[in-house]
Amino acid sequence: MNIADVLLLDFESEIANTRRTLEKIPDTSGLYKPHNKSMPCGRLSVHVARLCDFGRMILDTEGIDLATHQWPDFTFRDRQDLLDGLQESSTRLGTRLASMSDEDLQQTWTMRFGDKVVVAAPKMLLYRTMFLNHLVHHRAQLGVYLRLQDLPVPGLYGPSADEPFAA
């Protein structure tokens, strides 16, 4: 089994859990924020749905300069747009990841802000930390947003209070 095969095991599971979470985001919660310092639910949902594009950037490029990079539009439209965005971006990333050799994944990727290097490490490590862990982190935030709106939270690694084990 090569590195990409191992990474794909986690990827497929986490994308399925992300889809289950995004399926719970109502079309009406785009502006909801649990705190004035929090990102609005709609923007956070779009970020989660499209985060695979960042994962693909890690695999496809030598790095990113945060001082000059233009980020995509994170305008919330509706739940179906989230699910379509996740499907498209995760398909592209999964296909790309499956094509990568161990040597490709050991190449250095660098995040910088102008002349300052923020991080430089193997792609396989930054794919896991800056994409996959980042995805799980923001998806968990969405679970809190759902709970605070008294909406059902999906069970992702076992049952939730809203989706207990069936008897």
| Residue 125 lies inside a defined structural domain of this protein | yes
| Residue 69 lies inside a defined structural domain of this protein | yes
| Residue 160 lies inside a defined structural domain of this protein | no
| Residue 165 lies inside a defined structural domain of this protein | no
| Residue 122 lies inside a defined structural domain of this protein | yes
| Predicted local confidence at residue 167, as pLDDT | 54
| Predicted local confidence at residue 6, as pLDDT | 97
For residue 36, the domain's CATH number is 1.20.120.450
The stretches in the chain having pLDDT less than 50 are none
Compute how many other C-beta atoms are within 10 angstroms of the C-beta atom of residue 53.
Answer: 16
Q: What is the pTM of this model?
A: 0.94
d(Cα 23, Cα 142) in Å, to the nearest integer?
11
d(Cα 32, Cα 145) in Å, to the nearest integer?
8
Contact yes or no for 83/46 (Cβ under 8 A): no
| Predicted local confidence at residue 164, as pLDDT | 79
| Predicted local confidence at residue 77, as pLDDT | 96
| Predicted local confidence at residue 162, as pLDDT | 93
| Predicted local confidence at residue 165, as pLDDT | 75
**What's the structural domain count of the chain?**
1
Burial (CB count <10 Å: 0-12, 13-18, 19+), residue 148: middle
Q: Which amino acid is at 163?
A: E
Task: Give start and end residues of each alpha helix (H) in the chain.
Answer: 3-22, 41-60, 79-98, 102-105, 123-126, 134-148
| β 108-113/63-65 pair status | parallel
Q: Of 52, 91, 58, whose CA–CA distance to 72 is shortest?
A: 52
| Predicted local confidence at residue 36, as pLDDT | 96
| Predicted local confidence at residue 166, as pLDDT | 60
| Predicted local confidence at residue 92, as pLDDT | 98
d(Cα 148, Cα 34) in Å, to the nearest integer?
7
User: Which residues make beta-bridge pairs with 113?
Assistant: 116
Domain that holds residue 61: 3-148
Helix, coil or strand: residue 118: strand
Report DSSP state, residue 61: S
| Residue 130 lies inside a defined structural domain of this protein | yes
d(Cα 58, Cα 35) in Å, to the nearest integer?
31
Helix, coil or strand: residue 148: helix
